[in-house]
Amino acid sequence: MNVEDLRSGAPLKPVDFTPEDPAHYQRGKIQVWDFIADQGLDFFTGNVVKYACRAGHKDDKVQDLKKAKAYIDKLIDLCS
Does the global pTM surpass 0.85?
no
Q: Rounded to an integer, what distance in angstroms lies between the CA atom of residue 10 and that of residue 16?
A: 17
Reported as a pLDDT band with limits 50, 70 and 90, residue 66 is very high
Residue 28, pLDDT above cutoff 70: yes
Query: 23 pLDDT exceeds 90?
Result: no
Q: Helix and strand tally (H, E) in the chain?
A: 4, 0
C-alpha dihedral sign at 76, 78, 79, 80:
positive
